[in-house]
Structure 1
Amino acid sequence: SAISEAAWAALALNPKKRSEQTMAEVHASLLSHRFFGRVDQATGVQVLRSSTLAKIPKGETLYVQGEGARAFYIIMHGIMGQYRHKEVTDIHNVLVQNPNAIALHPNGLVEIEEGVMGSFVRGLSVGDCFGEKKLNSMVSQSEALEPHGKWEDTVVALTDVFLLVLPAEDFITLRHGLMNAFTDIQDMIPIVSKPPNKRTRNDIDSLLEFSKSCPFFNQLPYTISKQVLSKMTLSNHVSEDPLFIEGAVADSVFVILRGSVTAHVKKGFKQPRTATLDESLEENERVRLSRLEDSYGPILNFLYAGQIVGHVGASSGKARNASVVCHEATTALWLTLKDYESSGLKDMHSTMINEQLGFLRSFPVICDWNRVKLLSLAYCMATRTKERGCTISKAGDPAEFIYFIKEGECRVIAPP
C-alpha cells in the first residue's frame, strides 16, 4: 500500500484520540487515494476523525445481502468482491449449507463458488468507496424496517482488506461534502450541456445512474426523477454570483452538483450570521461573508452539493423569500418553472412544504409565526434519523442544535 506507516499508526488510534491537526496531515498524505483526493480537506479530515479502521481477513464477508445498512466504507488496502442474488436470499444459511463455497488460496485471491453468493457485480480495490447509495436512499424514509435500509448485495474480502468504516449517522452529517467522492460530475457535463431535446435514451439512463448518489434525486419517485433529469440544464457560477435575489420572481429551481451556496434573508432578520460564526474562520473569509451579508442580509444557512434551492418560492408561486449566493465556484442543474410544474415536482414540493409548516406550527413556541418566518426556519433545518438507544446529547456537551422531534420518543435523564 502507498499509505505511510505514520498514517496507518494515526488511523489505528481510537477515533476519539485523533486530533484534527494529525488527521489534516494524514489527509494531505492521501491525496493520491481516489476517495480522499476528491473531497475537500475539511470533509476529508472529518471522515478520518469519525471513521474506524477495520481489518477484514481474506475470505470473510463484510456484510451480506438483506442485512441492515449501517455504515459507509472506504477501502484503504486490498480487494473485495461484490455479489448479488436477483432475489434477497438468506446468505447466512446459504454459507452454512455450503461450507466450501469460499475457498482460500494462500498465494492468490479468494475463489467464490459460482452461484452461491449470487452473480459477481464488480471488484472493489484501494480508493473505492461504497454504501452511499443505500444510505442516501434511506435517510429520509422513516418507515424503513432498518434505520438505513438493507444491503442489496454481499461483499467478500478477496484478499486481506483494511477499511475505514464511517457510521451511518456521521455519513448523513457529512454526505453533502462527500458528493464529489462518489459522483463523477465530469462524466455528466457533456450530457446536461446538450439541449434537452437532443438527449438520447442512453443519456437519460446515464443521468439516472448518476442521480442515485445525489441526495435530492434519491427522494424522488422514478418517473419524476426521469422527467426532471431530461429537462434540467447546466448552470455554472463563480464565487459570490447570486443564483437569485430575495423579492424576485421565482421562475426556476437549482440542484447543486458541486460547490456551495449561502441563503440570505433581509426582511425580519437583524443579527448578522458572521457575529456567531466559528471563530476559527480565517479573517479574510469572515470579511467576505460579512460583505455578502451587507449586500443580501444575514446568512440563514449554508447549502451544499446534492441539495435543491429555489423550490420554496417556485412551489408557492410567490416571490423569492431569500437570496441565494454562491459561496464558491458552483456547478448546478437548472430547471425552469414550466418544467418544474409539468414534471410533477412542484406538486410534490408543495405537499412536502405544507406538511413541514404544519409540523412546525404544532409547536406552541412558534405556532403564531407567519409563513415567511416559518419558511425561513425550515431553510435552517435538516432531518436526522437516530437509532433507538443512541444518545443524542450528553450533559456538558456544547449546545449546538435545537431538535424538533418528528417521530418517536426521547427520554431526558438528569445527571446524578
Structure 2
Amino acid sequence: MGATHRDVLFDRGWLFRRGQCPAAAASTLPSVDLCAAASYDDRSWRLVDLPHDWSREDLPPRNEDTEFPVLAVRYGPWRLRAGDNASWAAPDLDDSAWLAYRGGEDWRIYSPALEAVNAVGWIRQRLTLPLRMLSLTANITLSLGIVAGNASAFLNGVLLGEPSSHPLSGRDYVMPHHYCLPRQLLRKEAPNVLALRLSTFGGPGTGRLNSSTSQGTFPGGLFDDPSFLVHNSRVGPFDAAVSQGQIGTAYSVGGIGYYRKHFHVKRKAGQRTFVRFDGVYMRSTIYINGVHLGGWRYGYSTFELELTSHLKDDAINVLAVRVDNSGVNSRFYSGSGIYRHVWLTTIDEVCARMRHSSPARRHAYAHHMRHLPHAPRTTCATRARACTS
C-alpha cells in the first residue's frame, strides 16, 4: 500500500493585525515576539480569509494612525521672504516682518522678486505637535506634499533633507516632499520651527507643474496645480508621505502585519505534518504554539516548514506568521501579507533504506537529512528519514 499524502487548504479563519506588535516594540528578536505566543489575546484582531493583501485596504486617517503617523503642514501659517540667507534656518530668528503666506498659492503673487528666473525664497512655520503623536513609538513623517520647485528642510535649525537633484529639473515639480522627524530634535514644550529653502524655475509665465513648459514659466512655492487631484493627503490605501516604494509601487504602504490561526489536528501514529505557504510578501517569520520554526525572506516563492514535533493532538494549536514588508524592496506593486494559498499537509513517515552501507554512512546520511535548510518547496527527500537498522 502506498504512503498517505493529504493536502488540506488552510485559507479560512485567520486573525489579522496590521502594525508592529505592542509587546514586541522594544525588541526585534523573533524569540521574544509576544504576538506569536500561543496564549496571546488576539480576540480584538480582524477575521480574514486568505489570500489576503493588506496594502489594498484603506489606511486610517493620518491623525489616528499609530503605525504611520503623518504631520501635514502644507496649509499651515507660513512666513515668506524672497532671497537666500543660510541664517534664515535659525529657530530663534525674528520673522515677524516676513510676508504671511498661505500654502496652496503660487508664491509669485507675493513678491516681484519671486518672478525672477531661478528664484529662491524661504518660508517658515512654527509647529506644536499633538501630545498623542509625541507619545507614539513609531517614526513621525512630516509631509509637505508636492512642491513647485525644490526644497531643503530644516527643523529647529538642523537640516532634515536636501533636494533630490542638482540642478533643479522638471521631475522635481511632480515629486512629493516628506521627511522623517528625528525625535531628539522635537521640542515638547516650545514650538518647533520648520524652515524651507525653496528654489524654482520662476518666471512670469502661467505654466503648470505637469506641463512641458520651458524654464522660466513655472509657478513656485507650495502651489496647488488644478490639474493634480491630490497635493498632500491620504486617499484610501495610498499615501505618498509614507509609501517607501513611492510611484513604483503606486504609493501603496507596506509595513508589518501579523496573522494567527487556531486549529485542531488529528493524526495517526507515525504521520508527519507540514505547513506550506505558496507566497508571503515578504520576510515572513513562522511560529507554532509559540515556538519559532523559521521563516522565508523572499516574497514570490513557495516554502514549507514541518510542524510535527510541536503539535498538540488534544488541544488547540496556534500558527502565527509575522510579515515584514518594510523598506524599498520592489520596483512595482507587490502587495503585503499572505497573498497566496496556505496548505496543511499530512504524510506517512517515509523510510529510505540504504543497502550495502556501513552504520557510519547511515548515521551521516541521517544527520544530513535533519539539517537540510528550508527549501522553497520541500522535496520528497527532505520528508524522508534514513532507516536506523
- Which has more radius of gyration? 2
Q: What TM-score, normalized to structure 2?
A: 0.24
- By relative contact order (CA 8 Å, sep 6+), the higher-ranking structure is 2
Question: Which protein has the bigger strand share?
Answer: 2
